[in-house]
């Protein structure tokens, strides 16, 4: 008992020491946490759109540990005065100095890259693809106008490429990365992100004729090389057949059924004839020999002879391959007569035919084994 008491006291003491060290470590961490340097930083109070001005209604200053925030965080409201965000921010996000626009720069201009311009062109349900065109898409611009034919001096329509792989900056007032875009089938204008040189081309194209926008994949960055086409060049130019599809193609999994080899039937007939010959080598008057001998003279080509083995004896039946009507082999009806000695179907067997002189099942099995050994 004394030993057990000492062991229990030792275990209790060890547990107490572990608990004491754990509590002490926790208290030390709390003290260090309270002594960690703090910093006041600006974070978004509500979701803020790109180009929106920053003020006390959408941001707040909070005191946090200095090590918990990234470098370049705004620490004073004076830093955001008369400035906006170049990128949208969510509630609780830090506001970084690099994300601020220049002073006095508000709205969508904060999203325009340096060296680029935003040009707006009118569209309708056709030219903006029935509402499928969205901010951020890439398009090609074509213009259709009238020109004078050099040979006939008559007016002809001409289609020419103006610009390619141009980014759609906005559809009406919906801007890429700022607004939730959905169906915009009532859009009347689209804004394009262009260089000053491209702006001249678009202006001339709008004055010259009708602008057509062609939607293309953002991954298709290959430059196209296409000449202008007039209505005289369209005659008889249907182009090659293109099987490319936007839908994934499914592999044809339907396997072709193999053709039935009719030679198998011929091999079966030859094998049966050889088997009958082996089972009755002397050419007796059994039912199989009788049926085989009379096949050419008494039976049409569409009739088969079946040797049915029953209880050690053989019964012969005639089967038509073109009709389900049984063949009368008794000679009493108009049906095709069978070979001599064949018992009527369902009638009594002739002892001379199905008796001991007829091929037996054992004899046929032996003959079949011999044929296999000989490589039939």
The model's pLDDT over 28-43, given as tens digits with 9 standing for 90+, comes to: 776 665 566 888 999 9
* Least trusted range by pLDDT, from 127-131, 268-272, 291-295, 359-363: 291-295
Same domain assignment for residues 57 and 125: no
Asked which of 110, 131, 146 is the last residue of a domain, the reply is: 110
- Label residue 345 by pLDDT band (50, 70, 90): very low
Q: What is the pLDDT of residue 219?
A: 93
Same domain assignment for residues 99 and 124: no
Region 43-60 average pLDDT: 90
Kindly list the distances between the CA atom of residue 261 and the CA atoms of 256, 266, 270, in Å, as whole numbers in the listed order. 15, 10, 16
Q: Report the distance separating Cα 340 and Cα 319, nearest Å.
A: 17
The verdict on residue 333 lying in a domain is yes
Same domain assignment for residues 368 and 297: yes
Q: Model's pTM, two decimal places?
A: 0.49
The verdict on residue 6 lying in a domain is no
Q: What is the pLDDT of residue 313?
A: 75
The verdict on residue 243 lying in a domain is no
Which range of residues forms the domain containing residue 355?
263-373
Residue 99, SS3 per DSSP: helix
With vertex at residue 248, the alpha carbon angle to CA 247 and CA 254, rounded to the nearest 5 degrees, is 120
Q: What share of the chain is helix, strand, coil (3-state, %, to 5)?
A: 30, 25, 45
Kindly list the distances between the CA atom of residue 99 and the CA atoms of 84, 91, 116, 117, 244, in Å, as whole numbers in the listed order. 8, 15, 19, 21, 43
Tokens of 357: 């002189």
Q: How large a percentage of the chain has pLDDT more than 70? A: 62
Q: What is the pLDDT of residue 355?
A: 45
Domain count along the chain: 3
- Label residue 335 by pLDDT band (50, 70, 90): very low
Asked which of 110, 125, 152 is the last residue of a domain, the reply is: 110
Same domain assignment for residues 329 and 289: yes
The verdict on residue 81 lying in a domain is yes
Same domain assignment for residues 219 and 118: yes
Same domain assignment for residues 185 and 136: yes
Same domain assignment for residues 227 and 168: yes
The verdict on residue 23 lying in a domain is no
For residue range 228-273, list pLDDT tens digits in order. 998 888 766 556 677 777 777 665 555 555 554 555 445 555 655 6
Same domain assignment for residues 225 and 172: yes
Tokens of 335: 């049906």
For residue range 206-236, list pLDDT tens digits in order. 999 999 999 999 999 999 888 899 888 876 6
The verdict on residue 211 lying in a domain is yes
Backbone dihedral region for residue 155 (phi beyond 0: left; psi -120 to 50: alpha; all else: beta):
beta
Q: What is the pLDDT of residue 144?
A: 94
Q: Report the distance separating Cα 79 and Cα 54, nearest Å.
A: 10
> Residue written as tokens 């906006």?
84
Same domain assignment for residues 127 and 51: no
Same domain assignment for residues 137 and 42: no
Region 12-25 average pLDDT: 82
For residue range 84-98, list pLDDT tens digits in order. 888 889 999 999 999
Q: What is the pLDDT of residue 289?
A: 53
Asked which of 110, 130, 157 is the last residue of a domain, the reply is: 110
The verdict on residue 33 lying in a domain is no
Tokens of 296: 């050419």
Q: Report the distance separating Cα 376 and Cα 371, nearest Å.
A: 5
């Amino acid at each position: 008992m004394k030993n057990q008491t000492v062991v229990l006291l030792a275990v209790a003491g060890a547990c107490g020491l572990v608990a004491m060290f754990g509590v002490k470590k926790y208290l030390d961490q709390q003290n260090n946490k309270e002594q960690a340097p703090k910093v006041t930083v600006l974070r978004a109070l509500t979701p803020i759109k790109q180009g929106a001005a920053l003020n006390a209604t959408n941001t707040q200053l909070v005191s946090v540990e200095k090590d918990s925030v990234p470098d370049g965080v705004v620490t004073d409201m004076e830093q955001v005065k008369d400035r906006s965000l170049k990128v949208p921010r969510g509630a609780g996000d830090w506001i970084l100095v690099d994300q601020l626009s220049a002073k006095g720069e508000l709205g969508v201009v904060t999203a325009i890259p340096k060296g680029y311009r935003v040009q707006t062109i009118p569209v309708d349900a056709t030219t903006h693809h029935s509402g499928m065109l969205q901010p951020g898409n890439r398009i090609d611009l074509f213009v259709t106008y009238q020109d004078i034919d050099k040979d006939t001096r008559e007016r002809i329509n001409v289609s020419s490429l103006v610009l390619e792989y141009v980014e759609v900056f906005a559809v009406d007032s919906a801007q890429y990365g700022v607004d939730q875009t959905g169906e915009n089938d009532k859009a009347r204008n689209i804004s394009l992100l262009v260089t000053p040189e491209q702006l001249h081309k678009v202006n001339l194209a709008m004055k010259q004729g009708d602008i057509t926008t062609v939607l293309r994949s953002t991954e298709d960055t290959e430059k196209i090389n296409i000449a202008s086409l007039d209505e005289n060049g369209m005659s008889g130019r249907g182009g090659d057949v293109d099987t490319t599809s936007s839908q994934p193609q499914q592999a044809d999994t339907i396997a072709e059924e193999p053709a039935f080899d009719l030679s198998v039937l011929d091999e079966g007939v030859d094998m049966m004839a050889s088997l009958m010959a082996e089972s009755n080598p002397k050419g007796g008057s059994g039912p199989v020999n009788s049926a085989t001998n009379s096949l050419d003279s008494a039976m049409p080509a569409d009739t088969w002879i079946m040797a049915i083995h029953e209880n050690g004896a053989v019964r012969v039946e005639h089967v038509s391959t073109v009709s389900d009507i049984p063949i009368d082999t008794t000679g009493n009806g108009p049906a095709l007569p069978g070979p001599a000695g064949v018992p009527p179907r369902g009638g009594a067997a002739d002892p001379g035919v199905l008796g001991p002189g007829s091929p037996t099942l054992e004899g046929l099995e032996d003959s079949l084994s011999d044929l296999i050994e000989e490589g039939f």
